[in-house]
Chain A
Amino acid sequence: MAGYLIRRILLGLLTLLLITMAIYALIRHMPGNPLATDAAMMNPENMPSEEDIQRMRAAYGLDKSIPEAYVHWLTNMVKGDFGSSFSEKKPVLEVIGSRVANTLLLTVPSLILAYILAIPIGLFSTARSGKTDERLVGVGLYMLYAIPSFIAALFLQLLFAVKLEGTAFELPLMGIRADEYETLTSTERIWDRLEHMILPVISFTYVSLAYYSRFIKANMEEVIRQDYIRTAKAKGLGPIRIMIHHAFRNTLIPFVTLLGLSLPALLGGAIILEQIFNWPGMGQLYFRSILTRDYPVIMGLTFALSVLTLLGQLLADILYAFVDPRISYQ
């Protein structure tokens, strides 16, 4: 196991190196100057002089060639220094750190919700397989699965923020807090936060909900045909016990890989959804930093996301061996 882990980690490091290299080369080839996107500098009255620009380029490491600058970034990164954001003039770690919580606020509840809802739906669909109610649920989930989350988000906004405006069901259109947040009492603040979370969390949840429950059902269908299920039935166990103890536990193996693979989505959020809801999370940060050519932030986010993706894959493989004794990494 230790040997396997070491090999995987070394391979992961190589992958990281290649990804960051590729992304760095890409972003340095983007047209547009990161120093010219700041609105203050656009003002013709205080245009920075040629020397200032040269000084700034040197300070940000933009005067170096791309390979040189990449090595510079890499050596600093290994020391834990990700540089500082061009547009916010703050260290990258601080900029990203200020947004992690906001994204987690959306993704963690939606992940938990998706799992809590998907397991009973999946079990229900297997138990009533082929019956009318199961078919209806199945068709419903299938339809949901075909609606891209960003369209569902827009429709939800139209319904709850525009159509139901002024009624008790009105929900805020976008943003993370009300304008008068500072004046609210603490209970009102919690309610305000919840109110702003409802629509984004639903949009985040339902695609994975449809996917997970179909996934569980497909695996369950395979398992309930096994001999040991017939044995369990023959010795007189109740259907619920068979479903949960004998069948569902055996579908956990493919299920845990899903868990591992959803790790990057947890922090990455969703660029499009955060943009639609104007949610100040990581996805929005990534989108904005591409627009403003904020190289250090793009690199920091790419690095974080790649690490998470690799960790998620590793976690899935380790969990695999953990839940299935037949698999070992010797």
Chain B
Amino acid sequence: MNKSPTTTETKKSPGFWRHAWLRFRRKKLSMCALIMVIFLSLVAIFSPMIAGTKPIVCKYKGRLYFPCMAYFNTNWENPIFQKDRFRKRYPKNLKQKDPESWAVWPLIFQDPYRPVRDSEWKDRPANPFNGGEPSRLNIFGTSKGKDVLAMMVHGTRIALLVGFVSTGIAATIGIVVGAISGYFGGWIDIIISRIIELVMCIPSIVLILALMAVIEKPTIWHMMAILGFTSWTGMARLTRGEFLKLKESEFVAAGRSIGAGPFRIMFRHILPNAMAPVMVPIVFGIAAAIKVEAGLSLLGFGAPPPNPSWGTILNAGMTNYTEWWQIVFPGIAIFITILAYNLIGEGLQEATDPRLADPKD
């Protein structure tokens, strides 16, 4: 009101999320955790380039190929290598079948799915099958001949994928169900709340094991879906609470008065305002999903081998405790990942809680 008309431009105050980020950035531990998660994501994205037996890029019979992409999806391997009978042994075959060829190799010549054989790579000896202690060639040792480090590098991909996909499913279900229940209220709310309570009553590991057993050939994608479908209740309850509170606010009444439909109000107007408290359990949910996946794989109930999930390495380690490297290294990896997500969740909680806001900001 008392602003002089000469001010040409008012400085735009930073938005809620910008504020939250500024506050989050001040917490050293949470920032370290964020860097750790970014590092893990990079390892996951570049896993075939870090450890593998297929060239990152190679020139073969006059054309460029990227055989390492087969680690993401076996169909992405060019059929020419099957036709030319490479049988997954690239170094020798490339030289034999096309002396002109060249290739850029992954940092570590080890495969997460199979043991490397004798002189597959220059004069490198085969991986030891039993008692493959950590050595210069197998930094984290071997598990039934397979290099543990290579398995862990590729396992990062599974851990990350499980965390994001299953929590994504859970968050989507939770938010939609919670939003509908909180916004519409009445008998819809009663029914949905009953269903949430019902699902909460079933111990989740019991339900997960039963569901995994129903699927004849479970893959890692089945597991992610099951984890997602069994862990949405907490988020639904939280979203419901937020919606119950927010639907009484003026901006919702305003939206309604100009004729916005219920779904527009729910997801365009209320949801962005309810997002902060819902984000926190999502981050913790990622950590929980990674933990449950590791636990299931440890029981041998995960995706079938040869999948290099961290839990699967633990499962192999449990059959022979003297090969400690199969337990210690994946165990530490799981611990660090869960710790990192927990720290981020905690930092986010403090950064988005208006009660803890610094009035000077």
Interface residues of A (CB under 8 A from B): 15, 18-19, 22-23, 26-27, 29-31, 142-143, 145-148, 150-151, 154-155, 157-158, 161-163, 173, 264, 268, 271-272, 275-276, 286-287, 290-291, 293, 298, 301-302, 305-306, 309-310, 313
Contact = CB atoms under 8 A, between A and B. Distances in A.
Contacts of A306: 201-202
Contacts of B211: 26
Contacts of A309: 201-203
A271 B209 contact: yes
A226 to B, nearest CB: 16
A255 B219 CA distance: 40
B313 to A, nearest CB: 11
Contacts of A161: 321
A154 B197 CA distance: 34
B317 interface: yes
A146 B201 contact: no
Nearest to A28: B214
B338 to A, nearest CB: 5
B298 interface: yes
Given A275-B299, A286-B206, A309-B203, A154 B339 contact: no
Given A272-B299, A305-B203, A155 B198 contact: no
B331 A155 contact: yes
Contacts of B321: 157-158, 161-162, 173
- The A interface is mostly helix, strand or loop, or mixed, namely helix
A149 B322 CA distance: 20
A89 B198 CA distance: 32
Contact of B317 (A19, A154, A173, A298): A154
Contact of B210 (A15, A27, A155): A27
A305 B342 CA distance: 29
Interface in B115-147: none
A158 B328 contact: yes
B299 A155 contact: no
Interface string B317-334: 110011010011001001
Most B CB atoms within 10 A — which of A147, A173, A264? A147
Given A150-B295, A154-B317, A272-B295, A290 B213 contact: yes
B312 to A, nearest CB: 14
Given A15-B198, A272-B298, A275-B299, A305 B338 contact: no
A276 B319 CA distance: 10
A147 B198 contact: no
Contacts, number: 103
A142 B213 CA distance: 34
A271 B209 CA distance: 10
Contacts of B287: 146
Contacts of B206: 23, 286, 301-302, 305
B314 interface: yes
A26 B294 contact: no
6 contacts: A27-B213, A31-B214, A147-B338, A151-B334, A271-B205, A276-B298
Contact of A23 (B210, B314, B324): B210
Contacts of A173: 321
Nearest to B327: A154
A143 B213 CA distance: 33
Contacts of A151: 294, 314, 331, 334-335
A290 B210 CA distance: 7
B216 interface: yes
Contact of A148 (B197, B209, B295, B317): B295
B291 interface: yes
A180 B355 CA distance: 62
Contacts of B314: 150-151, 154
Contacts of B213: 27, 30, 290-291, 293
Contacts of A27: 210, 213-214
A291 B301 CA distance: 10
Given A150-B298, A150-B314, A271-B299, 5 more contacts: A15-B201, A154-B318, A161-B321, A162-B322, A305-B203
A174 to B, nearest CB: 10
Please indicate which of the listed interface residues A29, A151, A161 has the most CB atoms of chain B within 10 Å of its own CB: A151
A146 B340 CA distance: 9
A155 B328 contact: yes
B295 A15 contact: no
A309 B204 CA distance: 12
Nearest to B333: A151
B335 A268 contact: no
B331 A146 contact: no
Contacts of A142: 339, 342
Contacts of A275: 299
B338 A148 contact: yes
Contacts of B198: 15, 18-19
B197 A268 contact: no
